[in-house]
Structure 1
Amino acid sequence: MSNTQSDRSRVSASDPSEVRYFAQKHGLTDDQVRDLIKQHGNDRKTLEEAVATIKGPATIV
């Protein structure tokens, strides 16, 4: 089931399309995203901060 308007701030580990979207957006595998959710919870902002610490700040070309 996809996120509704009220829960866009969460990434559902049980929704393959949400995991896949987050993974592709950040250059990760689905398993890496699920591991991040296990470690940090499913809050989207927290997960994006965790990705930034792993991958470093994005560079604009």
Structure 2
Amino acid sequence: MLAYNLFRRKGEADLFCAVPEDIPVPAFLTPEAWEYGCSVDIQALSGFDAEAAEISAGANGFYLFHSAS
């Protein structure tokens, strides 16, 4: 499983951005708006779709998703 750097949107507790560890962090993930969570295999997180993440990261370099927990 691919490991991702996980960011949480400040003020939006359920909005996350996952960036594969081997891809540079996109410029929109600024410290003012996003906080770094951790580097993790995030398939276990609620709302995380591994297939969608792979497609999105391949096309955009990141995967945005809402977590239900």
Fold shared, TM-score > 0.5 on shorter chain: no
More RCO (CA 8 Å, sep 6+): 2
Greater C-alpha Rg: 1
Q: TM-score, normalised by structure 2?
A: 0.29
Bigger share in helix: 1
